Structure 1
Amino acid sequence: AGLKTFLFDRAFSSPLNSLPPPPPPPPSPSIVTAASAAERTPKKKERASPHSSSSNEGTVEGGTAETPDGRRTSKRKRAKVEYREMDESLANLSEDEYYSEEERNAKAEKEKKQVPPPQPPPPEEDIDSDPEEPSVHWSNISLPGSFAGVEGAAFQSRLPHDRMTSQEAACFPDIISGPAQTQKVFLYIRNRTLQLWLDNPKVQLTFETTLQQLESPYNSDAVLVHRVHSYLERHGLINFGIYKRVKPLPSKKTGKVIIIGAGVSGLGAARQLQSFGMDVTVLESRDRVGGRVATFRKGNYVADLGAMVVTGLGGNPMAVVSKQVNMELAKIKQKCPLYEANGQAGERCTNVPKEKDEMVEQEFNRLLEATSYLSHQLDFNYLNNKPVSLGQALEVVIQLQEKHVKDEQIEHWKKIVKTQEDLKELLNKMVSLKEKIKELHQQYKEASEVKPPRDITSEFLVKSKLRDLTALCKEYDELAEAQVKLEEKLQELEANPPSDVYLSSRDRQILDWHFANLEFANATPLSTLSLKHWDQDDDFEFTGSHLTVRNGYSCVPVALAEGLDIKLNTAVRQVRYTASGCEVIAQNTRSNSQTFIYKCDAVLCTLPLGVLKQQPAAVQFVPPLPEWKTSAIQRMGFGNLNKVVLCFDRVFWDPSVNLFGHVGSTTASRGELFLFWNLYKGIHSCTR
């Protein structure tokens, strides 16, 4: 018994993007969500792309580069490790590859039956101008071809297909220390069991079914199969989410657990503990389940106020849940134009030219690469014994770039001055030489005027003067040629001066949009992000296209809550725990006078980090939590991302665009409503 406090707080990041000139607007209602990154305390990265997986605790998607699936992600000069040691081919699994040919044909046939008689074809349009991305029903997702089978099942479960993890090694010491062939047998049984579960996650996978489905000779060791099945079930790799039980729950409960919080973390844990035979009660202070997953529904409108993006299905447990729940998934288009105001109130925003956008984005990537070099190559991570933030490093690099521009200007003017001095010296030589030529020419003329017969001395004088005059004229011609070259060089230098600024005010505004995007992805100002560790989660991101849930993300927690004992409007005020058990004191949030006491064997705390950081504490622990845990709570950052939902009677923007960016006028306001989303078109039922 005793208190076990778990801090499960994975946030959901949002993408960013754009708006082109409006075509004739259809009369259907629609919703635009504007993201504001104005107010934050310790979240993370990405340009015009919803492909960053982020955490409110402060980590996530830097600069941006094109990836094979078209998404833009952070571009840094750091070696990327393989995704959980998986093959690169598996890590690059695209969303389209989840469909087998049979499923594609079945889906096409189904849509054919549902679609009304075809209308006359409309004028041909670019594929990206399709006003609406069709919803994708993931009830029959499979991994075709080389991505199917046991290797694909291991990848989808975030495990290496060809080696044991450290956790498996600890749980199976006899296997890890045994011969290589024994480990291969273990890995096949593990991967095959995962495959059996992923093939049909709507029904409980029992040990008996697993043993029956295993091929010979892998089914000969029933004890090992049972151990592997129990391990995978115990660690939530099979039989999780919403599925039909084949074996009934044991009538005798093995223990009483109170779970604080009915968010996705609490609900998921409650279902797992309940499946293990425990008596579980969930206490939730709000009048709904879902926590930070909340869907706005009013009339004909629907929008997610919290989590709203499935950040790739490759390796994502949500791929399994999407099979179990009726989630209408739709791919988020990557196109994200930027718009800037012209400074006049009431005037229409103008589109940032593509060339300018790409140029600034390239510079943004270079800045991130430079900060990565500072941190990982030069070990510039502390200044005056204080850790350097990403924001500090970026500003330092910008200042160095500005200094470099000024240095280039100085060097350019030095070259001009040097060329002018060389030209001046050359002209002085030419003037002096010209005087000598005049004087020598006069002497030659006088010597030549002596009437013959001239003696040998006079003849020698005439010829010597002519020789000297010829040499001086040749030297003068050479200096004249040098003069032309110097003048051409001077004209070229004066005609091609270096840039007098590193970034113009307009360039800085666009760059600030990228910085705001980075702050949005991390839900915190760049000044609070660790230079060295801000992107540490990049190697563990899910793969595949990002998707939105058309019928609202809340269909997931609503489905997870079915069959659970949940007490809504019940706020936990105090948790008392001893070696013999726990006591939870809660209060009705509607009538603060009503108090409840729940006794249990263990408490599972799934409160968000932001609640745990509150002072005075929202929940009192008696005795207090250990210092290592409270200090971890205080050290971890927790961000704040504001959304504004705008509902319109008609679409007056380009419906083919899911996202568009707004460039702010100042650095201080760069995060205010910098990103708009156009994802939802109407309300749908939330059913399984």
Structure 2
Amino acid sequence: MLLWPKAKCFLLACLSLLSPFTWAQNLPASSLKNGSLPMQYDADVIVVGAGFAGLAAAKQLHDQGHSVLLLEARERIGGRAHTVFDGEQAIEMGANWLHGQDNNPLVALAKEQGINLSPATQWRETIVYDEFGEEIDDAGALLGRWNHVVENYLAQYLRREPNASIQMLMDDAQKSGDLGFVSDELHSSFINFMFEQDWSADAADLSVQAAEDGEDYLGGDPIPLQGFLPLQQHLSENIRIRLGHQVSAIQQSKEGVEVIAQYQGQQTALRSKRALITVPVSVLQAGNIGFTPPLSARKREAINVIGMGQLNKVWLKFPEVFWDQNHAILRVGPEKGRFSLWVNIHAVSGQAYLLALSTAGNLEAGSDAEIVEEAMLGLRAIYGDEIPEPSKRYISRWQNDPFSLGAYSYLRQGGRPEHRDILAEPEGLVYFAGEASQREFPATVHGAYLSGLREARKIHASLPAVAERQESVELNRDISSDREGSFRQ
């Protein structure tokens, strides 16, 4: 607990007597005419959620001179980008790649901060095995032919049946015989590799408009070798952050916004001129934050048509490397999306790690030991029974995380890219950011980052010039929490 000298306490007490005058300059005239008590603010802007969207917005607004308070429900910053370390190896439990190097703002920021990036992952050189462990020699050529057919069907469906699902399109293409050159098992595996792994969504629920959802930076997909944590720490410098504060309600009036949060079983109310909500769209879908007045029907529709996918990661460390040196290994297994794609971390960092990406919906129900054993069955099917057991394991469970409820966003059947624009629209004094609200680069870390900068620009334009703000904003700030301050780890 921070204890203030008595002289400062006396000064604050004197200034509080002047608060009706000093705060009046920031309120609508109607608030003064009817004699209502002016609101005292804890910050110009309260940002809810300390993922890349919230951190980007908070830093931008702070650098522009606004007082900012960032509330995060977890006991850490980063959101769905969560780095843990095994020695020098950064283990990413969530976001893993910077997608595209050319013009990517986070690539530029990483280089500015001296964060080393790996070479781009060579997805085109993925080696493919069938379920019996035999390499499919012409898999690359087959995937190219398959993709050409699918692209033609996508063009037709986008014109004729834009509300269809990817699975409907795939079934159509398969029944027509146009995909007769691949087995049913390989067809299913290609669907998972090209669409479901990409969007963390089942093809039966994924809109065909996912094909037009977002853009790509060129230059390949590198991995930050020190993880995403150094970027988060840079963005959080000098930002007031309160961890462990779970926001349950947003109430706005003419005077401003009141944010209700739970901290250690106690409810606290914080007030600001603007609020920025950056929680995952799944948290909004679950109704975990109440809004007064309620969100518009237009906003609620956008929230509900944007899905939150399931994608989990299983990191396995081995005493030696026994696998192919290709950057990615694909196995056509008996169950689609369940330990079918492995990323060769050794090719990136030199550490003997394999990383499995799984879209299987029921993966999280298993224990760690059960999940590892199933993963090893798949690896033994390719590399034999004599391969060593892993010495370490790291397993994510994003669906069961109450503050994420999934991996990242996708467009459900019937969804359209413009629904992301609607999700991004402000409602009164409340603004919205996050990767799900970023039409150009959804489901990416840089999309989340850019959405935070976008909303920071809007909020800055809506607030009075910083030079006109009274210094009492700073002096009346609540700094009594020992959890508040710049984030350090």
- TM-score bracket, normalised by the shorter chain, equals 0.5 to 0.7
1:351 aligns with 2:17: no
1:528 aligns with 2:205: yes
Q: How does 1:122-137 map to 2 (within 5 A)?
A: none
User: Residue 672 of structure 1 aligns to which amino acid in structure 2?
Assistant: R
1:381 aligned to which of 136, 140, 161: 161
1:370–1:397 CA contact under 8 A, matched in 2: no
Q: How does 1:40-55 map to 2 (within 5 A)?
A: none
Other structure's SS at 1:602 match = strand
Provide the residue aligned with 1:392 in structure 2: 168
Residues 283 and 682 (structure 1 numbering): CA distance in 2 closer, same or farther, change over 3 Å? farther
Q: How does 1:403-422 map to 2 (within 5 A)?
A: none
Instruction: Give the superposition deviation at 1:320.
Output: 2.4
Residues 622 and 274 (structure 1 numbering): CA distance in 2 closer, same or farther, change over 3 Å? same
User: Residue 650 of structure 1 aligns to which amino acid in structure 2?
Assistant: E
Other structure's SS at 1:526 match = coil
**Take 2:88 and 2:219, find their aligned partners in 1: how far apart are those partners?**
31
Provide the residue aligned with 1:510 in structure 2: 186
**Take 2:319 and 2:267, find their aligned partners in 1: how far apart are those partners?**
46
Provide the residue aligned with 2:483 in structure 1: none
2:235 aligned to which of 530, 545, 560: 560
Instruction: Give the superposition deviation at 1:582.
Output: 1.3
2:89–2:226 CA contact under 8 A, matched in 1: no
**Take 2:164 and 2:52, find their aligned partners in 1: how far apart are those partners?**
35
- Relative to structure 2, which stretch is displaced further, 292-301 or 576-585? 292-301
Provide the residue aligned with 2:52 in structure 1: 264
**Take 1:254 and 1:313, find their aligned partners in 2: how far apart are those partners?**
39
Provide the residue aligned with 1:652 in structure 2: 322
Other structure's SS at 2:307 match = coil
User: Residue 605 of structure 1 aligns to which amino acid in structure 2?
Assistant: I
Structure 1: 5+ residue runs without aligned partners? 1-252, 343-348, 406-501
Q: How does 1:486-497 map to 2 (within 5 A)?
A: none
The structure showing larger relative contact order (alpha-carbon pairs under 8 Å, at least 6 residues apart) is 1
Residues 557 and 630 (structure 1 numbering): CA distance in 2 closer, same or farther, change over 3 Å? same
RMSD: 2.5
Structure 2: 5+ residue runs without aligned partners? 1-40, 353-487
Provide the residue aligned with 1:323 in structure 2: 111
1:663 aligns with 2:360: no
Other structure's SS at 2:117 match = strand
1:341 aligns with 2:128: no
**Take 1:549 and 1:389, find their aligned partners in 2: how far apart are those partners?**
34
**Take 1:362 and 1:320, find their aligned partners in 2: how far apart are those partners?**
32
Provide the residue aligned with 1:136 in structure 2: none
1:262–1:282 CA contact under 8 A, matched in 2: yes
Identity of aligned residues (%): 26
**Take 1:388 and 1:630, find their aligned partners in 2: how far apart are those partners?**
21
Provide the residue aligned with 2:313 in structure 1: 643
Offset from partner CA, 1:456-484 (integer Å, 9 cap, x none): xxxxxxxxxxxxxxxxxxxxxxxxxxxxx
Instruction: Give the superposition deviation at 1:503.
Output: 5.2
User: Residue 127 of structure 2 aligns to which amino acid in structure 1?
Assistant: P
Other structure's SS at 2:309 match = coil
Instruction: Give the superposition deviation at 1:338.
Output: 0.8
**Take 2:101 and 2:160, find their aligned partners in 1: how far apart are those partners?**
37
User: Residue 308 of structure 1 aligns to which amino acid in structure 2?
Assistant: N
Other structure's SS at 1:329 match = coil
Provide the residue aligned with 2:338 in structure 1: 672
TM-score by length of 1: 0.42
**Take 1:373 and 1:581, find their aligned partners in 2: how far apart are those partners?**
47
**Take 1:601 and 1:263, find their aligned partners in 2: how far apart are those partners?**
22
Offset from partner CA, 1:31-81 (integer Å, 9 cap, x none): xxxxxxxxxxxxxxxxxxxxxxxxxxxxxxxxxxxxxxxxxxxxxxxxxxx
User: Residue 204 of structure 2 aligns to which amino acid in structure 1?
Assistant: S
1:301–1:647 CA contact under 8 A, matched in 2: no
**Take 2:65 and 2:230, find their aligned partners in 1: how far apart are those partners?**
26
Other structure's SS at 1:515 match = helix
1:605 aligns with 2:271: no
Instruction: Give the superposition deviation at 1:300.
Output: 5.8
Instruction: Give the superposition deviation at 1:299.
Output: 4.5
Offset from partner CA, 1:438-460 (integer Å, 9 cap, x none): xxxxxxxxxxxxxxxxxxxxxxx
Provide the residue aligned with 1:276 in structure 2: 64
TM-score by length of 2: 0.59
Offset from partner CA, 1:322-363 (integer Å, 9 cap, x none): 133232101134221012232xxxxxx22222x2x1453134
Other structure's SS at 2:176 match = helix
User: Residue 224 of structure 2 aligns to which amino acid in structure 1?
Assistant: V
Other structure's SS at 2:321 match = coil
Provide the residue aligned with 1:483 in structure 2: none
User: Residue 272 of structure 2 aligns to which amino acid in structure 1?
Assistant: C
**Take 2:140 and 2:85, find their aligned partners in 1: how far apart are those partners?**
38
**Take 1:287 and 1:681, find their aligned partners in 2: how far apart are those partners?**
31
1:332–1:658 CA contact under 8 A, matched in 2: no
1:290 aligns with 2:51: no
Offset from partner CA, 1:522-551 (integer Å, 9 cap, x none): 2112222223x221146x311112201111
Instruction: Give the superposition deviation at 1:682.
Output: 5.4
Instruction: Give the superposition deviation at 1:263.
Output: 0.5
**Take 1:302 and 1:331, find their aligned partners in 2: how far apart are those partners?**
15
Provide the residue aligned with 2:462 in structure 1: none
Provide the residue aligned with 2:151 in structure 1: 369
**Take 2:155 and 2:272, find their aligned partners in 1: how far apart are those partners?**
52
Provide the residue aligned with 1:543 in structure 2: 218
**Take 2:267 and 2:206, find their aligned partners in 1: how far apart are those partners?**
42
Offset from partner CA, 1:208-245 (integer Å, 9 cap, x none): xxxxxxxxxxxxxxxxxxxxxxxxxxxxxxxxxxxxxx
**Take 1:577 and 1:652, find their aligned partners in 2: how far apart are those partners?**
59
**Take 1:369 and 1:626, find their aligned partners in 2: how far apart are those partners?**
36
**Take 1:600 and 1:658, find their aligned partners in 2: how far apart are those partners?**
48
Offset from partner CA, 1:491-545 (integer Å, 9 cap, x none): xxxxxxxxxxx357xx2222221111121112112222223x221146x311112
2:154–2:211 CA contact under 8 A, matched in 1: no
2:82–2:228 CA contact under 8 A, matched in 1: yes
Q: How does 1:56-71 map to 2 (within 5 A)?
A: none
Instruction: Give the superposition deviation at 1:596.
Output: 1.8
Residues 288 and 682 (structure 1 numbering): CA distance in 2 closer, same or farther, change over 3 Å? farther
Other structure's SS at 1:315 match = coil
**Take 2:58 and 2:155, find their aligned partners in 1: how far apart are those partners?**
45
Residues 281 and 676 (structure 1 numbering): CA distance in 2 closer, same or farther, change over 3 Å? same
Offset from partner CA, 1:544-596 (integer Å, 9 cap, x none): 122011111222112211211000111111111111111111111xx32x222
Provide the residue aligned with 2:249 in structure 1: 574
Offset from partner CA, 1:259-294 (integer Å, 9 cap, x none): 000111001000111112111000001011000111
Residues 282 and 682 (structure 1 numbering): CA distance in 2 closer, same or farther, change over 3 Å? farther
Other structure's SS at 1:271 match = helix
